[in-house]
C-alpha cells in the first residue's frame, strides 16, 4: 500500500507523487524479457497499438494502471509520462468506481483510522491515516472478489427468485397459502 496523507489532493499534488511512486516500483521490478508474453504487449490491450506502432515506439509494457475516469487523469503530460515509462493507464467506466479496488481500500483505511477517534486537527487525521497505512503494510488484509458479502447476496437472490426469469425481489413476497383464497370458478 502506498499512500501519503495530504491536506489537498489536487492534480498538482497527486501527479508528481504518483510519478515518484510508479518510478520506485519500476526501479524495484525486474526488466521484462526480450520477447514479451501474452498480456505484455501494447497491442494486447489497445486494438490500435499495432496500427500506431506502439510496440515499436514505446518501451516494453511493464505496468497496467487502473484508475478512475477523472478528467485530470487524462492530462496529456501525465499520460505521455506513463506511456514513456511502460505504464498503460486503464480507466474504469464512468460511474464505475466500484471496479477500482483503491476505492474499497480507501474506505477501509479511513474507517480503521477514525474508528472511535475524535480528531481536533487535519494534521491529526493525516497522522492517523499514515499510521493506519503503516499498520496495513505490516499485516495486509487480503481482498477477495466475491467473498462473504457476495455469497450473502447470492443466497438472498436465491431465496427471493421470481419464476424462471432470474428476477428477484428486495423483500420476501407474501404468498397466499389458504385454499379459500382460490375461487372455484377461476376468478
Indicate whether 26 pLDDT > 90: yes
CB atoms within 10 A of CB 171: 6
Taking residues 2-19, report their average pLDDT.
90
Is it the case that residue 187 has pLDDT exceeding 80?
A: no
Q: Is it the case that residue 155 has pLDDT exceeding 70?
A: yes
What confidence score (pLDDT) does residue 38 get? 78
143 φ, ψ (degrees, to nearest 5): -105, 135
* CA atoms within 13 Å, Cβ hemisphere of 44: 12
Q: How far is CA 48 from CA 38, 44, 55, 65, 87, in A?
A: 17, 10, 11, 19, 17
- Whether the predicted pLDDT of 32 surpasses 60: yes
Confidence check: pLDDT of 52 > 90: no
pLDDT of residue 174: 63
pLDDT tens, 85-116? Answer: 999 998 888 776 666 677 778 888 889 899 98
Residue 183, all three cell numbers? 375461487
What lies within 8 Å, CB to CB, of 36 at 6+ separation is 60, 61
Sign of the Cα torsion 109, 17, 67, 89 reads: negative
Band of residue 126 on the pLDDT scale cut at 50, 70, 90: very high
Could you tell me if residue 39 is left (phi over 0), alpha (psi between -120 and 50 degrees) or otherwise beta?
A: left
How confident is the model over 174-184, as a mean pLDDT?
55
Of 40-49, 118-127, 164-173, highest mean pLDDT:
118-127
Region 157-184: mean pLDDT is: 58
Give the residue with greater pLDDT, 177 vs 94. 94
Q: What is the mean pLDDT of the chain?
A: 80
- Reported pTM: 0.67
Amino acid at each position: 500500500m502506498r499512500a501519503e496523507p495530504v491536506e489537498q489532493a489536487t492534480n498538482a499534488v497527486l501527479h508528481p507523487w504518483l510519478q515518484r511512486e510508479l518510478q520506485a516500483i519500476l526501479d524495484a521490478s525486474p526488466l521484462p524479457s526480450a520477447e514479451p508474453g501474452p498480456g505484455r504487449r501494447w497491442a494486447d490491450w489497445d486494438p490500435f497499438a499495432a496500427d500506431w506502432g506502439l510496440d515499436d515506439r514505446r518501451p516494453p509494457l511493464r505496468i497496467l494502471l487502473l484508475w478512475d475516469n477523472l478528467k485530470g487523469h487524462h492530462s496529456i503530460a501525465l499520460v505521455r509520462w506513463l506511456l514513456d515509462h511502460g505504464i498503460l493507464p486503464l480507466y474504469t467506466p464512468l460511474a464505475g468506481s466500484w471496479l477500482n479496488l483503491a476505492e474499497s481500500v480507501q474506505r477501509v483505511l479511513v474507517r480503521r483510522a477514525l474508528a472511535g477517534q475524535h480528531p481536533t486537527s487535519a494534521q491529526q487525521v493525516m497522522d492517523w491515516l499514515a499510521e493506519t497505512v503503516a499498520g496495513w503494510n505490516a499485516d495486509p488484509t487480503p481482498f477477495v472478489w466475491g467473498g462473504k458479502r457476495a455469497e450473502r447476496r447470492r443466497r438472498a437472490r436465491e431465496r427471493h427468485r421470481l419464476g424462471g426469469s432470474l428476477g428477484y425481489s428486495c423483500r420476501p413476497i407474501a404468498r397466499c397459502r389458504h385454499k379459500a383464497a382460490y375461487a372455484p370458478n377461476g376468478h
